Every structure is written in C-alpha cells, then in structure tokens.
Chains A and B, each alone.
Chain A
Amino acid sequence: GAGVSQSPSNKVTEKGKDVELRCDPISGHTALYWYRQSLGQGLEFLIYFQGNSAPDKSGLPSDRFSAERTGGSVSTLTIQRTQQEDSAVYLCASSPQGSTDTQYFGPGTRLTVL
C-alpha cells in the first residue's frame, strides 16, 4: 500500500517568506508526527497529533512554527518569516496509534532558506 508522502520534496525560499509543508499519512493511521533533521543535529521531535486530541506542540522551536491536521488526515507544517537556521529536512511520520514502535516515515521535505 501507499506509504507516507510529503510535498514538496524540495523547497527553496528567501529569508522572511512563509512556507507550507504537507504530509499525507498512511490511510487509517490516527497518529501523525513531525520531526526536523538538521545537518549534524540528528532528528528532533516537533509536534504530535493523535485523533481528535489536542496536539503535543512541545517540540516546536518558536512561535513561527505551527501545524494543523485537517479531518484527522493531511497535515500542514507552516513556518512563518523563515530564517536561515530553519534550513533542514522536515520529516513526517504516521502510526496506527500513538505508539513509538510503529512510526512509518515519509521521505521528507528539504527546506533551504537563502
């Protein structure tokens, strides 16, 4: 079956612009996660959605970052007023429920802020 998909695969933007990154989880998965992978920093947790519960936003690095999940499926990560330090690969994952052993990752969106 189809895996997690993310779009765009690459995004180049200018400092100060807003960007939107999209994630389509595996159909039927109730949990969705966003991670950021920066050069030399490994992966860091950003945000977690589970069903209709309030999301865990504890990993968002600043108030310029926000995410929503519409209809319990597709999710959009928005970065406002992008900065050069936002350049990274943004990974999305989904799982049947909120359990760490079944996270399936998408290929990521590589964001470059000039």
Chain B
Amino acid sequence: AQSVTQPDIHITVSEGASLELRCNYSYGATPYLFWYVQSPGQGLQLLLKYFSGDTLVQGIKGFEAEFKRSQSSFNLRKPSVHWSDAAEYFCAVDDGGSNYKLTFGKGTLLTVNP
C-alpha cells in the first residue's frame, strides 16, 4: 500500500520569507499527487496537482510544487509567505488505479509570524 510522509508537523516562518513544505511518497508507479490547504474551520481546498508532464506545477495563491521521481518527493514552495497562508497543509496521493481514493499525509501546520 502506498503512503505519504510529511516530515514536518509544524513550521513557523516570518511573513515575507520563503516556504518549503516537504512531502515524500511511497508508491511503485508514477502517482497522482496533490497538495491541499485547510484553514481553521474550513474544508480542504486544492492548491495544485501533478498527474504527468512538466514536473514543476503551479497552483493557486502563488504556490508551486516540484515532482522529483528520484527522491519520491513532491515539495510545496512559495517565494514569499503572507499572513493569510497560516493553515494546515496536506499532501495526498491517488490510490493507484482507483482514480478516486486519496491517501493523505498527516499534515504540516504553518504558523506565520508578523
């Protein structure tokens, strides 16, 4: 079975600083990869996804992620963090072949200092 690891439970950055959230997956084939954000009291919102093609994908709110097959990673980045980015971020992978069943990491909580 596949798995998703987000090594950082909690990250704190200053507003305006750059951000990188790590995600590693365990899966035999090329997975479908996703990043979701969950703000307090809100449902999950899709930031971006990777299915195939260009390994650098752009998402909403200025986020991007890079798929690196050799490292089994799909790290999320943002060049300059805004206070409104404070939230919990989840990496997810498609359950190979099901085309609907997502396996999520345990999440990274982002705190943004003024």
Contacts and interface: CB of A to CB of B under 8 A. Distances in A.
Q: Does A pair with B? A: yes
Interface stretch (B14-22, B75-83, B98-106): B98-106
Given A42-B104, A44-B104, A101 B43 contact: no
Using C-beta atoms within 8 Å of the partner chain, give the interface range for chain A. Answer: 20 to 34
Contacts of A56: 98, 100-101
Contact of A42 (B51, B100, B105): B105
A40 B108 CA distance: 10
Contacts of A43: 44, 90, 92, 102, 104
Given A107-B42, A108-B43, A101 B101 contact: no
B43 A4 contact: yes
B22 to A, nearest CB: 15
A99 B94 CA distance: 10
A100 interface: yes
A42 to B, nearest CB: 4
A91 B105 contact: no
A50 B98 CA distance: 12
Contact of A31 (B36, B90, B100): B100
Given A31-B100, A56-B101, A103 B46 contact: yes
A33 interface: yes
Given A4-B43, A45-B101, 9 more contacts: A31-B100, A42-B107, A43-B104, A45-B95, A91-B43, A100-B32, A101-B34, A103-B46, A104-B43
